[in-house]
Structure 1
Amino acid sequence: MNVAGSVWITGAGSGLGRALALRYLNAGASVAGTARRVETLADVASAAAGMTGQFKAQPGDLTKAGQAETLVDAIEQTAGPIGCAVLNAGTHIPEAADKFSAATVASLLESNVMSVAYCLEALLPRMLARGRGQIAINASLAGYRGLPRAAAYGASKAALINMAESLRIELEPRGIAVRLINPGFVRTPLTDRNNFPMPFLMDVEKAAERLYRELEHGSGFEIVFPRRFAYILKFLRLLPYALYLPLVRRMTQ
């Protein structure tokens, strides 16, 4: 689904957001990238030198109320109406049950859920007034069901899945395409923190290419990769608790 206008990517300074920004820039798009650290956005601009697209760095902390509204104002004044927003900013803190911390839960909800909510609050009135737009929310396959060491992270991603489903139902008839991105393991600075096996680990450029193609040419709700891992987790999602819980315990010990 190719929506006219500029592209806004949050979490554009590293990982999948950075790779996707460069893919769009290589295709000639006008891209606004947001990240907390200015130097990471400068690195994206440097990497994009010679590409046909235009990159506009828009640094900001999306966990702070009001930042998204300010950023969206600035982007639309300089790059034109946002046609596609990829709400990708977020983080991952793996934590075992014996180290469970309410502070970790609060931190991940702020980074992964509230940052998206603030962006939606700023974007939706504008897109609804125009009667068009595409919003892609980056959740995770970890949001499907409970997994070890992911009580906080999985909860934040499950919230995003539910939010995206709800918004899709309401907004699709009004011209706004809400897309749900559910990646598995993609090689990024976040997954580099993991000290456990990561099945079907995917190269970030390959993941960005898959995401780019789906955003530009697809129209379905959910975008998943790598597909083999997604199919496994989709199957596990269907199991009753009496089978699911002991099976996952054995698989992850």
Structure 2
Amino acid sequence: MSNHSLPWQSVWLTGASQGIGLALAEALAQQGVTVCASARNEEALQALARRSRLWSGKVVAYPLDITDSSAVAETLVQIEVEQGLPQLVIFNAGSHHPTPATRFQSDEVRQLLELNVMGTCHCLEAILPRYIQHNTGHIAVVASLAGYRGLPSAAGYGASKAALNNLLEALAIDLYHTDIRLQIINPGFVRTPLTDRNAFPMPFLMEPEQAAAAIIHGLQSGRAEIRFPRRFALLMGLLRLLPAGLYRYLIARATGYDRAV
């Protein structure tokens, strides 16, 4: 028996095989939503789909590499045919690996931009014409509070998330006169295989299940930006207002980068 407490019957979610995406897929399906789950890891998606048989909703696996624009377009066509046009899309797929100045490589930054930014653009390119045609739809993109200002060893990752924030803001203005909703999601540090790569202290670290709950709550609000945890988001918002020199000094002191190794 389906639970219709959430306002969406179907959701297309990318990056659903681990971390925040996996927790989101589970939470949505457990509350009666049909989750069209995409990720590169087909085995993990199929395992998730099997587990969902016990829930009030369901997960349907749509394996996908979002860096392949043709595959993205074909996957959305398949979803439409089999499940109908998703009422909500959550473009969450992305990656992170450190890009410190001591071993900075442009290829690593390019890989992050290709997945985090261009992969998301491929998804937007597929869904926007459909939503514009019907003058309806709900788009949410997962960026990061790391996109607010530079953080140690995160030049590539932070640049990609800053780009997503700007991208969504621009598109939201373009679509302001329509009934299409756009939201940007800026989490703080969430315990995932990606954040496990960070070598610096991560304040206010959250579990994926906590992040999923915060996102689902935020998606039902009228806010243009969903950001959490509250204290860290407030701190990053205040730090964004500081002069560059003072900001660099404070972050270097706080993370130990002011000391020679």
Alignment counterpart, residue 190 of structure 2, candidates 179, 186, 193: 186
Give the distance between the partners of 2:8 and 2:244, measured in 1 at CA: 45
Does the aligned pair in 1 maintain the 2:17–2:45 contact within 8 Å?
A: yes
Q: Secondary structure at the match of 1:189?
A: coil
Aligned counterparts, 1:59-78, within 5 A = 59-78=63-82
Match of 1:158 in 2: 162
Does the aligned pair in 2 maintain the 1:3–1:133 contact within 8 Å?
A: no
Cα shift at 1:30: 1.1
Match of 1:140 in 2: 144
Q: Secondary structure at the match of 1:160?
A: helix
Does the aligned pair in 2 maintain the 1:3–1:84 contact within 8 Å?
A: no
Aligned counterparts, 1:1-253, within 5 A = 4-215=8-219, 217-253=220-256
Q: Secondary structure at the match of 2:176?
A: helix
Give the distance between the partners of 2:51 and 2:194, measured in 1 at CA: 21
Does the aligned pair in 2 maintain the 1:187–1:204 contact within 8 Å?
A: yes
Q: Which amino acid in the other structure matches residue 240 of structure 1? A: P
Does the aligned pair in 1 maintain the 2:9–2:32 contact within 8 Å?
A: no
Change (3 A) 1:212 1:4: closer
Cα shift at 1:5: 4.8
Does the aligned pair in 2 maintain the 1:172–1:178 contact within 8 Å?
A: no
Give the distance between the partners of 1:232 and 1:187, measured in 2 at CA: 19
Count of equivalent residues: 251
Give the distance between the partners of 1:51 and 1:64, measured in 2 at CA: 32
Q: Which amino acid in the other structure matches residue 122 of structure 1? A: A
Does the aligned pair in 2 maintain the 1:180–1:222 contact within 8 Å?
A: yes
Give the distance between the partners of 1:104 and 1:250, measured in 2 at CA: 27
Identity of aligned residues (%): 47
Q: Secondary structure at the match of 1:9?
A: strand
Cα shift at 1:46: 2.9
Cα shift at 1:4: 4.5
Which segments of 5 or more consecutive residues in structure 1 lack a partner in the other structure? none
Does the aligned pair in 2 maintain the 1:5–1:80 contact within 8 Å?
A: no
Give the distance between the partners of 1:46 and 1:234, measured in 2 at CA: 41
Does the aligned pair in 2 maintain the 1:143–1:161 contact within 8 Å?
A: yes
Does the aligned pair in 2 maintain the 1:5–1:81 contact within 8 Å?
A: no
Q: Which amino acid in the other structure matches residue 83 of structure 1? A: Q
After alignment, is 38-47 or 225-234 more displaced? 38-47
Which segments of 5 or more consecutive residues in structure 2 lack a partner in the other structure? 1-5, 257-261
Q: Secondary structure at the match of 1:156?
A: helix
Give the distance between the partners of 2:223 and 2:194, measured in 1 at CA: 27
Q: Secondary structure at the match of 2:50?
A: helix
Q: Secondary structure at the match of 1:238?
A: coil
Give the distance between the partners of 2:155 and 2:100, measured in 1 at CA: 8
Change (3 A) 1:3 1:170: farther
Change (3 A) 1:87 1:57: same
Q: Secondary structure at the match of 1:174?
A: coil
Q: Secondary structure at the match of 2:175?
A: helix
1:122-153 per-position Cα deviation (integer Å, ceiling 9, x unaligned): 00000111111111011000000111101111
Q: Which amino acid in the other structure matches residue 37 of structure 1? A: N
Give the distance between the partners of 1:170 and 1:63, measured in 2 at CA: 25
Q: Which amino acid in the other structure matches residue 21 of structure 1? A: A
